[in-house]
Structure 1
């Protein structure tokens, strides 16, 4: 199981709790800074004088990362990471060091120090980019480069408030840098193209935000006031949806005396960095998905109603029939229909495609008690305690029918000569497998019973569902009653959407 940053920090005994809190804040801001910097970010926490532990890693979305693998949890010494250990020991930045990557281009790295209580170096932040990306980044506007340096400095101080609430940076996001006077000082090529689609054909550089009929001015005002990150969507010209993220740029002056450089004064905002993204297609797809989901829910609702109508018609037939055998067959059919209706009822009221089979089983147990157990029978049907078990709709429907049939079989054949007993249902999640066990303390199986030779319609239905629909196995054992065990894999059946055990 992947370790969390708190798990990793617990392996660094020399850190104070406030130091750990600060490093968690730094880690939360790393993904955004990695994207803007177009670099990999690796955060090493100090673990003694000669070792460091990689506690957080962020890779850029817009370019190929330097490190494709997850390296968190790697413990390093001066032998593996000499620059990292040197930065921690000396307490200052190690800049522009070059090293080759196995099978790849050289990488440029700048290692900065994160300071904790009293100015002690508690971690080193490695900003690493391949040589080509580094050269391209350095050739961009000086305004943009300064904005990136400010973001990296804010990251080291843990001052990127709420940056972890922003959606991920995308390859086709445009970037603007606006100064404290609300004048645009930098616009990337992608941002320029986005604003042209909004009708602004002239250069954005030098333009005041108040001259733009967009939400930029109001967004700037809120970010500048709160010194916190914001993300908003606006539907503008031609009904296009534009997503904007805004991050304050905060500069600081050095404190006094100069030999204590971790002390800073004059925390002042100097501008805002905007990103703009055309989210129109994404929102259209989300709306289409919502409409389709609503239609599917309505279909399930109608199927449930139709099944209940069929069950009502069969009840009328029971009342009209004078043949006990026909009545029993109709009752069994009603229970099968209602067990399917339960699944469709859950699907009609839930937007998801997975069903909590524990809740379905509880409903089937109630239906069995009401429909099959006669008043003189004092038979308890219990659902054993356990965790929720979520299954996709197709498997849930098959499971509901299997549980219904096995309960009916236990009630009808296990207690013909008895009025008292207990039937229990166990639902077990075994990782990749599901196990369903139904036990009774009834009369047991006949001595010559073979599941493959049974003439019971209910058990034949169970076999078909288990083998064909669930692609699992069925075992029936006789002892102090009967135990029926069904096992099947959680694999996705053809045409079934992805699901997970968390629902």
Structure 2
């Protein structure tokens, strides 16, 4: 299904700023639908002076009218005049009589979506679309005080939509997990910050934090100040939020209970008339978030310690190699030192971030520096360079790949270019299905065209074929040199999100 942006841009009548405004409004579609107990639809004009639906939100506390998705549909004939008048007249238009939708009586309100008060002196308000509220009259019953208050709040917000006061671009665009909804708890404040209405869920949330009285008639700022522990550091934004002066969010915590608050100032043609404060008990959510943060920090610390331990082991192997008189033993210890150091590079990279994925291009650049020491061997002058990109890999695949490439590059320098000058190129190519890596050298080629059976070759085969589910192929390049090609199916890699 097309996104809101796709549908809006397809009509060719909206700017990037218009689309951003519509996205912000659609983001609060659930709030409007819950307050109005009605379906909310956003329409934008088309090139032929009609309208197309670009967003739809169903109410959480009432029956929906639209059981089938209407996003992408053109406005129905029975609503077109009303939507047209709201758009071109820049005014709210209510249906004169009940509208029938699939044998259900409804009441429709069309609200112009105004992005700015004036485009210029002569043009008037800049209307970029129309919001319609579709109320199901088939389930009409005597409204409760909460429903009346919710409807009043919805009417205030619709008026703000028509006067470019809502959505508010200064409000946070990315609410944290557990953002409160109207059904979680709603408090209505007057212009002085006094509570005129508190839903049962809102009152319960404050009762759990230690407030034992009724919220109505009380200053929410004084109530909040009274329940917060004196020793706790208070968020500087809290007074502004609980007095309804800014469209911000904050958390308050008392007696082991955490309540998330979101304030929406209410305005009438720019003049502040009060505010809506949405609240939700997010104690359990915050505990879960803290546990995740703690686990992430623990994992990072483990990677850091593993890296330090591996570096210590590598240093011990290097020292032992220097004190060994046997050339064969020295070479074996040096190779082991490089293998351990290559694994340490991956853990070092993982310890720097929370994600369990690594930018393997960065890792491999550091791995190449490790094998550079080999290039400094007597009578060997090797230049190593890489082309292409590996991309981001999960840590469980980054480690065996880094170790395998260390073996291949080291082998190319030590044996392929032994006692001569040459180049080693590592080329990476990542397609949608496969990661292909080639290691080419300009050396003497494979002895008698046969792949060796040494420890390094066995390690590479085990890592590529056994752990990564890939394939590996050795062959001599026509003329001179050796090329090793590795192919790893991306389906193995994509088990872990990138």
Q: TM-score of the superposition, structure 2-length normalised? A: 0.81
Q: CA deviation at 1:243?
A: 1.3
What is the distance in 2 between the residues matched to 1:429 and 1:369? Answer: 25
What is the distance in 1 between the residues matched to 2:224 and 2:23? Answer: 36
Residue matched to 1:273: 276
Q: CA deviation at 1:48?
A: 2.4
What is the distance in 2 between the residues matched to 1:125 and 1:318? Answer: 76
Residue matched to 2:421: 420
- 1:326 is paired with a residue whose SS is helix
- 2:497 is paired with a residue whose SS is coil
Q: Which runs of 5+ in 1 are unaligned?
A: 253-266
The answer to whether structure 1 residue 405 and structure 2 residue 407 are counterparts is yes
8 Å CA contact retained: 2:381, 2:422: yes
Cα gap change, 1:140 to 1:375, in 2 (>3 Å)? same
Q: CA deviation at 1:30?
A: 2.6
Residue matched to 1:433: 434
Cα deviation 1:67-106 (Å, max 9, x = unaligned): 799876x2x445xx334533343336364644349xxx99
8 Å CA contact retained: 1:34, 1:40: no
8 Å CA contact retained: 1:108, 1:134: no
The answer to whether structure 1 residue 301 and structure 2 residue 304 are counterparts is yes
8 Å CA contact retained: 1:35, 1:59: no
What is the distance in 1 between the residues matched to 2:384 and 2:105? Answer: 68
8 Å CA contact retained: 2:424, 2:442: yes
Residue matched to 1:151: 157
- 1:483 is paired with a residue whose SS is strand
Match of 1:169 among 169, 180, 195: 180
What is the distance in 2 between the residues matched to 1:477 and 1:277? Answer: 65
Cα deviation 1:233-254 (Å, max 9, x = unaligned): 1222x132221110011123xx
Residue matched to 1:90: 85
Residue matched to 1:258: none
Q: CA deviation at 1:343?
A: 0.8
Match of 1:235 among 246, 253, 263: 253
- 1:212 is paired with a residue whose SS is helix
What is the distance in 2 between the residues matched to 1:2 and 1:479? Answer: 50
Cα deviation 1:210-239 (Å, max 9, x = unaligned): 551448999686369996411111222x13
Residue matched to 1:374: 377
8 Å CA contact retained: 2:209, 2:253: no
Cα gap change, 1:46 to 1:164, in 2 (>3 Å)? farther
Match of 1:284 among 283, 287, 305: 287
What is the distance in 1 between the residues matched to 2:398 and 2:69? Answer: 36
Residue matched to 1:251: 268
Q: CA deviation at 1:139?
A: 7.4
8 Å CA contact retained: 1:433, 1:490: yes
Larger CA deviation: 440-449 vs 283-292: 440-449
Residue matched to 1:99: 101
What is the distance in 1 between the residues matched to 2:243 and 2:219? Answer: 18
Cα gap change, 1:29 to 1:369, in 2 (>3 Å)? same
What is the distance in 1 between the residues matched to 2:363 and 2:20? Answer: 42
Q: CA deviation at 1:2?
A: 6.3
What is the distance in 2 between the residues matched to 1:293 and 1:305? Answer: 18
Q: CA deviation at 1:449?
A: 3.1
Cα gap change, 1:467 to 1:59, in 2 (>3 Å)? farther
Task: Figure out how many residues of one structure are paired with residues of the other and give that number.
Answer: 467
Match of 1:124 among 130, 136, 143: 130
Q: TM-score of the superposition, structure 1-length normalised? A: 0.80
- 1:384 is paired with a residue whose SS is strand
8 Å CA contact retained: 1:473, 1:486: yes
8 Å CA contact retained: 2:43, 2:55: yes
What is the distance in 1 between the residues matched to 2:420 and 2:60? Answer: 67
8 Å CA contact retained: 2:430, 2:436: yes
RMSD: 3.7
The answer to whether structure 1 residue 339 and structure 2 residue 342 are counterparts is yes
Cα gap change, 1:273 to 1:77, in 2 (>3 Å)? closer
8 Å CA contact retained: 1:184, 1:208: yes
Residue matched to 1:192: 203
